[in-house]
Amino acid sequence: MRRLIELGYRLVALVRRRQLERDLDDELAFHLSMKEAEYARSGVRDPRRAALRQFGNVARTREEVRDMWTFPSAESVWADVRFAGRRLLNDRAFTLLAVTALAFGIATNSTFFALVNAICLRGLPIDAPARVLYLGSRDAAGRPGGLSYAEFSDIRDASTSFERVAAVTVASMTIGDRDLAPDRVQGAYLSATAFALLGVAPMAGRDFSTADDGHGAAAVAILGHAVWLSRYAGDSGVLGRSVTVNGRQVTVVGIMPEGFRFPGTVDLWLPLSNMPGLAALPRDARQLWVFARLKDGVTPSSAEAELTAMRAAWAAHAPDADRRVQTTARPINEQFNPSATDPTWLAFITAGALVLIIACANVANLLLMRGLSRAKEMAVRASIGGTR
């Protein structure tokens, strides 16, 4: 309770600082005058000097009293900040050099961290990425690969561990219109449930439906935000328009939000059934990227165990080479984003830290040179009782 009362007094003192300073000066002056008058009545030759000698250092007494109704540590820090500010303003050449060196180091380090965060740490802009697994394969030599359309279909139809399973493959595409010159863009064929699995919806228009991904369905496409702006100047009237993709007429049904370019730098999406020769692909043509969202309560390890069991069932009817292939499951961020612990990125991070350290060392050298030039000043300050 006592400490709370003391804290309250100190907080009030912050608000009434000037009034308390005046009251303190008046009180000290009153005590000095009373002591001086006492010495004058006793016949002392220099009563003022005698009063000051007995009273002691007035400035020190003022500081001790002030410390009782303020926050001494905060006062000391604030005094140091003001003194440092005055020194920096008086020595503008030193300030400019120090600020430039620190700004260069901090800016470089911040840029390096922003790149590492965007590429390695932040992850894909999808809903609950920890619940999304990338499903792939590993051959007898340990080389990673994708899955075939037949394997994807089996997992999609028979697996009980996944809420949704989707597949995608990337391909270069040419988009054209009657009034515009053709453009070459990075495109992708993906299954109808892919965007719903990722938790992303078009900003305009609609997503692919199951009917769009069926055999004999009308050809449709979804545009990326960058292509929509650069080619169609952000005109929403492109929805429902017929455009040519790889020489085939397709209807634009949606536009994805800004910044979404999954996977990689894709700007145009078509249903997976539009992929040329998809139905004729052999079972060992593992060129699809397959990803799946786990059901609630299912762990990645149990899902991988189910995939292993399915692979064993396939092996009974597979050639000898395919019997040595394993199915893998890993978080989707680990597949599409590099790890910050890779040697390349560690070297990148180290380079950014070294630039900042070098900048700080340069400023430390400047401070050392400045301190040597103030050696006489510091000696005088120490001689009159100044602390470090």
- Classify residue 18 as exposed, middle or buried by CB count within 10 Å of its CB (0-12, 13-18, 19+): exposed
- Classify residue 222 as exposed, middle or buried by CB count within 10 Å of its CB (0-12, 13-18, 19+): buried
Helix (H, G, I), strand (E, B) or coil at 122: coil
Strand intervals (E) in the chain: 132-138, 144-145, 162-176, 183-190, 204-205, 220-223, 242-245, 248-255, 268-271, 289-294, 326-331
- Under DSSP, the state recorded for 265 is T
CA 146 remoteness from chain centre: 30
Where do we find the tokens 């932040």?
122
C-alpha closest to that of 290 among 134, 153, 144, 110: 134
pLDDT for position 255: 94
Q: Which two tokens stand for residue 318?
A: 């597979």
pLDDT for position 14: 60
Using CA atoms, how far residue 257 sits from 188, 196, 201, in Å, is 16, 14, 8
pLDDT for position 117: 78
pLDDT for position 370: 80
Total count of residues recorded for the chain: 388
pLDDT for position 213: 85
For CA atoms 158, 160, 163, 165, give the dihedral sign: negative
Rg (CA), the chain: 38
Give the C-alpha separation, 203 to 250, whole Å: 19
pLDDT for position 323: 67
C-alpha closest to that of 315 among 330, 307, 143, 160: 307
Query: Over the chain (388 residues), what is each successive 10-residue block's mean pLDDT?
Result: 62 65 75 79 79 72 67 70 83 85 89 80 75 84 84 87 90 87 90 88 90 85 92 88 89 91 87 85 84 88 86 72 75 75 81 88 86 82 76
C-alpha closest to that of 158 among 347, 292, 335: 292
Amino acid, res. 382 = A
CB atoms within 10 A of CB 50: 17
